[in-house]
A and B are shown apart, each in its own frame.
Chain A
């Protein structure tokens, strides 16, 4: 169960990490992973340390994760692999798919440096600057959903991505108004086209501004700004309740108070029971089980926890991770790993020393997931959507590259088991855990090890252990975590 918890509440564990976690009782593990706020986050300071996952900088440039998107991608992979708060990174990944915003549209408008900052700026890198969208997801991801949704509505990357800054009282533009209901909260079937028109008018006036040294693309950043003159101050009526008393109309207000319209509307979406159900279902599918229909008992418990705890996501997660269904063996290995999860789990289980995060970026893209670049605002196609012939080929080939790179460490780790192929296979299957293989499959692995006479020599280990690693990590069974 420990491995299952570590794979789901984080990204898995290296042999050394697993040994450390094994010393703690399970409830302490869950508590430590869930209540991570007290843990230090000095993982960024380890970037460049040869004992950690490597990074590759652009020729002649310093590592610039706040202004170069490729470096930001490497940094996020590094954080997913090494953060002392794996759940924080896991929730940022979950919300990134939920509030799916793509870098390239923004970069097309404001250039790569400002767009990279908008996606994942660390405010410490530039005095006065704002956290990037993903950094906000880290900070707010297990707090109140009301805060999260409100901050996302005002997030400058989101403002540009869904054309909010073009949405004015004279010509309302529906993109954000539609998606905030369809994708970010209640979901389809809970609003009408008339609600979309009204929602567009609610968010009129949302805009952005540039701050800092405007002449410097690396020294300036965008932030939210409300433009009262663009706001439609008339009343907006909806088909669902906006206020706790059941009122469905946002009253006419002076334009200068226009943001209150949006706040009222956001809170209405947050407290809507359809939102509670939808978020609970999405979290269940992500964390518990993706291959069977969600258990309505757990989903309802999570939805009710959400509604009765001020929309607090951590409370919902606590209910989820403490549920019998989450802990049940039937839930092990029932999640189609996202490319990010597959890659980071591989780093942990196979090894990372001497490997650069940069070498995972193109494979991840070919597996179908490039960080900061979801295909559209609906996010990535999850579950079987990850599985295609080129996706599987890429996973296998990535396993090959990583195993080859970690050849000597893998061979050395396997030395105590070199006497027979069967012993070696047992060791490998225990290290790279899956839902299990059939005897036909394990026979294929033993036959592979015996392709030529088995000697267990160092040279043979250095060929066959990476080869065997690649077979397991590249297998269909390993897709599920």
Chain B
């Protein structure tokens, strides 16, 4: 048996199972360290990540029997130790970068996060995670509501979205979050040059100042334009950022590089949104080579580069990254060497002040009808920790906000003590 010595050395960092009361909060430290310089990076894995292939219960006999073609051999996993329920776990073989962050004590893996009656629909699921509500999924997002609590006038770059579309979690009543897919191309062009172009920019800024209360749809568009025009010059400084290390040449890593650049240039952003896709692996999942294998390489490589870059710049203690997906996937493979939509899955939290380790208890993959860790005729993983308690921990302990008012209810109980 091979488990991490770290889980004893850290004293208090080991996994907590469900049912514990909320441990001592760190909000004192949060304020003392100067909350304004802190930021949150949210990494969303689009499509429903097969969490059982990210953090693998490699000794569970049913892992092999239920996944005959797509299981990862026990000898290949990157062992990270045993959780509080005694299950031995290992990371996907391509997650070497994440493994080293785990070994540094800065990666927290929160097992079996989700919610009751979990939706298996990408779109509903994403909106539930985004609004932090199972009943009203077409309103503002939890991150948007956090941004709405900030004292006005709010800096137009207080949020930074590296995608083209504003995702549900960032939708707010008051704060528009700029979508900056590439700092280099985020610029104003004109059919004319020189002074003429300047006259146009002045006029466009004045024209977009029409933000009518009685026509909120128009107000939203014009305030978005204002936000774009108001942020052009500062975003241009980020385009000039030279990182401490070389990031991989893919969209995900490049987005993280832009985030690091915004931090380095002290833009003042508090919430960054990054996403990467391809996780809807219904067929030919390729956990040992192929699609999923590559997804893990991209994810781990990008996050490790980001971590190392921030570390080299002394910015690691200012950042928390949370990684999540809208659901996990079925335990048994389907007939296409893939997996269909499932329920509970891991969330990950990493950062300079994160208490790393394994939280929660792994699913037992046994087909016994009494198995409390599974649901849906033992087809899916049952949640143990409500995802909103992880949000609550981040909102309260890291951002110094009020999770109860932002999430609309008290989700602090049972939150993993990651911060």
Residues of A within 8 A of B (CB): 163, 166-168, 170-175, 178, 182, 188, 193, 291, 334, 336, 366-368, 375-376, 378, 381, 384-393, 396-397, 400-401, 403-404, 407, 435, 437-438, 440-441, 444-445, 447-448, 451, 463-464, 466-467, 470-471, 474-477, 479-480
Q: Does B313 contact A (CB under 8 A)?
A: no
B206 to A440, Cβ gap below 8 A? yes
With both beta carbons as reference points, the residue of chain B lying nearest to A438 in the complex is identified as B210
- A-B pairs with the 7 shortest C-beta distances? A171-B335, A404-B191, A166-B336, A388-B179, A389-B178, A444-B206, A476-B221
Please name 18 further chain A to chain B contacts, defined as beta carbons within 8 Å, in addition to the given A171-B336, A392-B225, A476-B218, sorted by A numbering.
Answer: A178-B341, A193-B120, A366-B164, A366-B185, A367-B164, A381-B165, A384-B217, A385-B165, A386-B165, A387-B224, A392-B221, A396-B188, A400-B189, A435-B218, A444-B203, A448-B199, A475-B225, A480-B218
Please name the residue on chain B nearest to A160 by beta carbon: B283
Whether A173 touches B176, Cβ cut-off 8 Å, given contacts A437-B210, A471-B203, is no
The reply to whether B166 and A388 contact each other, CB–CB distance below 8 Å, is yes
* Given A163-B282, A166-B336, A168-B335, A440:B221 Cβ within 8 A: no
Name which of B34-42, B121-129, B249-257 contacts chain A: B121-129
Q: Please, which residues of chain A bring their CB within 8 A of the CB of B188? A: 393, 396-397
Least CB distance, B91 to chain A, in whole angstroms: 27
Distance in angstroms between the alpha carbons of A480 and B210 in the assembled complex: 15
Contact B210 A441 (CB under 8 A): yes
- Which of the residues B179, B190, B227, B335 comes within 8 Å of A166, measured between beta carbons? B335
In the assembled complex, the Cα of A477 lies from the Cα of B217 at a distance in Å of 10
Kindly state the separation between the CA atoms of A470 and B188 in the bound complex, as whole angstroms: 12
A400 x B190 contact (CB < 8 A) = yes
Please state if A167 and B124 are interface contacts (CB–CB under 8 Å). no
Q: Tell me if A167 and B335 are in contact (CB < 8 A).
A: yes
Say yes or no: is B192 at the interface (Cβ < 8 Å to chain A): yes
Report the bound CA distance from A346 to B93 in whole Å.
51
| B227: contacting residue among A389, A397, A440, CB under 8 A | A389
Contact partner of A368 among B164, B176, B200, CB < 8 A?
Answer: B164
Q: State the total of A-B contacts with C-beta under 8 angstroms.
A: 185
Within 8 A of A (CB), among B374-394: 376
Contact call B165/A368, Cβ cutoff below 8 A: yes
Q: Is the CB of B164 within 8 A of A171?
A: no
Contacts of A391 in B (CB 8 A): 164-165, 179, 224
Q: Mask for B207-243, Cβ within 8 A of A = 1, else 0?
A: 1111000000110111011011001100000000000
Q: Which of A173, A476, A480 contacts B282 (CB 8 A)?
A: A173
| Smallest beta-carbon distance B346→chain A, Å | 22
In the complex, 18 of the A-B residue pairs with CB atoms within 8 angstroms, ordered by the A residue number, are: A163-B283, A170-B335, A175-B340, A178-B341, A336-B217, A376-B122, A389-B231, A392-B228, A393-B188, A393-B232, A404-B190, A463-B192, A467-B192, A470-B191, A471-B203, A476-B208, A476-B218, A476-B222
Closest residue of chain B to A434 (Cβ to Cβ) is B218
- Which chain A positions have C-beta within 8 A of B224? 387-389, 391-392, 476
Contact B225–A396 (Cβ < 8 Å): yes
Q: Which residues, 170 to 203 on B, are CB-close (under 8 Å) to A?
A: 176-181, 185-192, 195-196, 199-200, 202-203
B364 within 8 A of A: no
Decide if B161 is an interface residue (CB 8 Å cutoff): yes
Q: Say yes or no: is B65 at the interface (Cβ < 8 Å to chain A).
A: no
In-complex Cβ contact of B335 among A173, A336, A396, A397 (8 A)? A173
- Taken together as a complex, chains A and B put the C-alpha atoms of A467 and B209 apart, in Å, by 18
Q: In the bound complex, what is the Cα–Cα distance between A386 and B224 (angstroms)?
A: 11
A437 to B206 alpha-carbon distance, docked (Å): 12
**What residues of chain B lie closer than 8 Å to A463, measured between beta carbons?**
191-192, 196
**A390-B181, A393-B186, A401-B189 known; A291 vs B207 contact (CB < 8 Å):** no
Q: Chain B: which residue is nearest A196 at the CB level?
A: B120
Q: Enumerate chain A residues within 8 angstroms of B122, measured Cβ to Cβ.
A: 376, 378
Partner of A396, one of B179, B204, B210: B204
Would you call A467 and B190 a contact (CB within 8 A)?
Answer: yes
A368 to chain B, nearest CB (A): 5
B100 within 8 Å of A by Cβ? no
Give the residues in chain A near B206, CB-CB below 8 Å: 440-441, 444, 447
> Which A residue's beta carbon lies closest to that of B171?
A384
B334 contacts partner chain A, Cβ-Cβ < 8 Å = yes
State whether A476 and B225 are in contact (beta carbons under 8 Å apart), knowing that A388-B164, A389-B179 are contacts in the complex.
Answer: yes
Instruction: State how many angstroms separate the Cβ of A335 from the closest Cβ of chain B.
Output: 10
Given A163-B282, A448-B199, A475-B207: A384 and B220 interface contact (C-beta under 8 Å): yes
User: Which residues of A are found within 8 Å of B335, using beta-carbon distances?
Assistant: 166-168, 170-173
Q: Mark B85-114, 1 if CB is under 8 A from A, else 0.
A: 000000000000000000000000000000
Other-chain residue from A173, A376, A464 in contact with B340 (beta carbon distance below 8 A): A173
Is A389 within 8 A of B180, CB to CB?
A: yes
Q: Is A173 in contact with B185, judged by CB distance below 8 angstroms?
A: no
Nearest CB of B to A451, in Å: 4
In the bound complex, what is the Cα–Cα distance between A182 and B120 (angstroms)? 11
Chain A residues with CB below 8 A from B177, complex form = 389
Across the interface, which residues of B come within 8 angstroms of A471, CB to CB?
200, 203-204, 207
Question: Which residues 24-53 of B have a CB within 8 angstroms of A?
Answer: 46-47
- How far does the alpha carbon of A467 sit from the alpha carbon of B192 in the complex, in Å? 7
CA gap between A188 and B190 in the complex, in Å: 46
Q: How far is the CA of A386 from the CA of B186 in the complex (A)?
A: 17
**Could you say which residues of chain A place their CB within 8 Å of the CB of B225?**
389, 392, 396, 475-476
Nearest Cβ in chain A — how far from B267, in angstroms?
14
Chain B residue at smallest Cβ distance from A108: B291
A173 touches B336 (CB 8 A): yes
A150 CA / B173 CA spacing, docked (Å): 42
Q: What separation, in Å, do the CA atoms of A407 and B122 have in the docked complex?
A: 46
Q: Inside 8 A of A188's CB, which chain B residues have their CB?
A: 121, 124
A480 to B218, CA, bound (A): 8
The complex places the Cα of A390 from the Cα of B235 at a distance, in Å, of 11
Interchain CA distance A336-B187 in the complex, whole Å = 23
CA distance A470 to B189 in the complex (A): 10
Q: In the bound complex, what is the Cα–Cα distance between A448 and B195 (angstroms)?
A: 12
| Nearest neighbor of A446 in chain B, beta-carbon distance | B203
Chain B contacts of A474 at CB under 8 A? 204
Please report the C-alpha to C-alpha distance between residue A421 and residue B400 in the assembled complex, in whole angstroms: 54
Question: What per-residue 1/0 map shows which CB atoms of B277-307 lie under 8 Å from chain A?
Answer: 0001011000000000000000000000000
